[in-house]
């Protein structure tokens, strides 16, 4: 295993509060229900379509609302912290010989700004995959560009759509428990690894590196 690819929001960055605020900023205008941080935790077991239905979100207006939510996020990027232990975990993996990249549906400029703010230089590449329902094309393109086989990398993320994208291209997946989707959603897709803290990510992959050697 050579590359560790991370999702960003919900995996490295604790952007839940900003996204809840962004969601609520347009709830009244587009006639869907507002959301609280507590409710966000409560709907972890629901897929995206069930969440939309529960909060009366007009999916037919997704192409109108989503850019506005992204714009809100861009304007509040400085409010987004990394999860505790993320910087140390990334540094540990990099020191252990792994190449680290980020493939996220977030905007590349947002991610780069946060990495610079946190003085993180262990990430070699940031890729924005802005498609809402899949990252498989971006992962496949990444493998082709770097001449990698699926077993040469691992994707670390928190969402059902992340592991589904990985399964489409045969890339192993590590699910992190502090993100958006519950293990109830993820389990049926059979993640290769499960981590309950950033330190656990580094510890598990350190053992993998030892085995590979």
**Domain count of the fold of the chain:** 2
CB 129 within 8 A of CB 155: no
Q: Are residues 33 and 128 in the same domain?
A: no
- pLDDT tens figures, 111-144: 999 999 999 999 999 999 866 556 899 999 999 9
CA-to-CA distance for 101 and 11, rounded, in angstroms? Answer: 13
Interior/surface letters 176-199, b for 16+ CB within 10 angstroms, e for the rest? beebbbbeebbeeeebebebeebe
Q: Are residues 68 and 97 in the same domain?
A: no
Q: Are residues 188 and 95 in the same domain?
A: yes
Q: Are residues 119 and 203 in the same domain?
A: yes
pLDDT at 209 over 60: no
Percent of the chain with pLDDT over 70: 95
Q: Are residues 74 and 86 in the same domain?
A: no
Average pLDDT value over all residues in the chain: 92
Q: Are residues 98 and 195 in the same domain?
A: yes
Torsion angles phi and psi, residue 203, rounded to 5:
-65, -45
The domain in which residue 172 lies consists of 3-14+81-212
Last residue of a domain, one of 31, 62, 79: 79
Last residue of a domain, one of 31, 47, 79: 79
- At a CB cut-off of 8 Å and minimum separation 6, what does 172 contact? 150, 151, 153, 154, 155, 166, 192, 193
């Amino acid at each position: 295993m050579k590359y560790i690819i991370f999702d960003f929001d919900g995996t490295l960055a604790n952007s839940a509060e900003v996204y809840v605020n962004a969601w609520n900023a347009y709830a009244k205008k587009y006639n869907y229900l507002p959301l609280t941080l507590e409710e966000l935790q409560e709907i972890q077991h629901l897929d995206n379509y069930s969440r939309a239905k529960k909060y009366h979100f007009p999916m037919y207006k997704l192409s109108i609302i989503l850019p506005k939510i992204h714009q809100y996020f861009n304007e509040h990027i400085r409010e987004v912290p990394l999860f505790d232990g993320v910087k140390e975990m990334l540094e540990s993996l990099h020191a252990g010989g792994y190449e680290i990249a980020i493939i996220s549906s977030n905007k590349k400029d947002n991610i780069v700004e946060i990495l610079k703010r946190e003085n993180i230089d262990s990430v070699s590449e940031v890729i924005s995959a802005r498609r809402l329902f899949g990252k498989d094309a971006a992962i496949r393109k990444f493998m082709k560009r770097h001449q990698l086989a699926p077993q040469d990398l691992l994707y670390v993320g928190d969402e059902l759509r992340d592991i589904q994208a990985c399964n489409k291209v045969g890339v192993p997946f590590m699910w992190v428990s502090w993100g958006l989707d519950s293990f109830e959603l993820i389990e049926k897709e059979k993640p290769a690894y499960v981590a309950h803290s950033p330190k656990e990510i580094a510890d598990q992959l350190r053992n993998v590196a030892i085995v590979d050697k």
